[in-house]
Structure 1
């Protein structure tokens, strides 16, 4: 598929998502979530489509995408590992875990391993403060993680 047909695909699929969800109250966030679920990220090509359909400026759409950490503007790896960076997790060894995961994966936050297996993302609270430190692999939460558990998650993601 060439770049032009890919952009056309983004636009047509986004228009279908908008048609389905536009009637919701405050539809931008649900539409952005649906777009990301469909493509794995929010492509730049869809921002003007959303702006026009929802009577917003492109800057408003871009502002929402860039404000919320859950929206990605580029494709992620096959798995997404989110490591909590909030205070409770930091107080329970989160920084050492962050250093270890970056070492094991060979990437920093917001990057994807060369094999395309894992994208590493920081998150600022997973709601598991009582079980700190915490991580999320894809949509599965993991609390009270240590270096061994972290290595297990990475091994699982690399399969």
Structure 2
């Protein structure tokens, strides 16, 4: 499957001048990550070095080399959210999920990532969950949210 996703992204955007970012986004959109085998294939197709492609993948925080968890939770760590308590929420999330920022919780339920401003400062602290913005977080609201994310699949059905 990853080979097909790489081929499709290259066919769609590989011909564009400076198309590396578009190709990488195409792969990430299809797979949720940039698998290691994509680096060499993209480099060869775009006449770039593996180091150039790897450099772009590792530079941009939205590209990951491992598949994400079933849910991606991005907690705002910028100043406005910090002033409203996001650092305490960050610590609670790490303890509750059993992983640090940039990691996926055991069992693969949640990938926890920092983000530095969601533009929702008036409703701080905020997070982005699977692309959905949520604000005015409290410890209780965050607990309920995490409960729903880590519940076994049969309980959610």
TM-score by length of 1: 0.87
Partner of 2:140: 148
2:70 to 78, 81, 92: 78
Are positions 1:135 and 2:127 aligned together? yes
* Pairing of 1:71-150 with structure 2 (within 5 A): 71-150=63-142
Query: Could you tell me how far 1:25 is from its partner in structure 2?
Result: 4.5
Cα-to-partner distance string for 1:64-101 (whole Å, 9 max, x where unaligned): 11111111111111111111111221121111010111
Specify every segment of 5 or more residues in structure 2 that has no aligned partner in the other structure, as ranges.
Answer: 152-157
* Pairing of 1:11-90 with structure 2 (within 5 A): 11-90=3-82
* Separation (CA, whole Å) in 1 of partners of 2:20 and 2:11: 12
Query: Could you tell me how far 1:13 is from its partner in structure 2?
Result: 2.8
8 Å Cα contact 1:81-1:136 kept in structure 2: yes
* Count of residues in correspondence between the two structures: 151
* Separation (CA, whole Å) in 1 of partners of 2:72 and 2:22: 20
Specify every segment of 5 or more residues in structure 1 that has no aligned partner in the other structure, as ranges.
Answer: 1-8
Runs ≥4 residues deviating over 4 A:
none
Partner of 1:157: 149
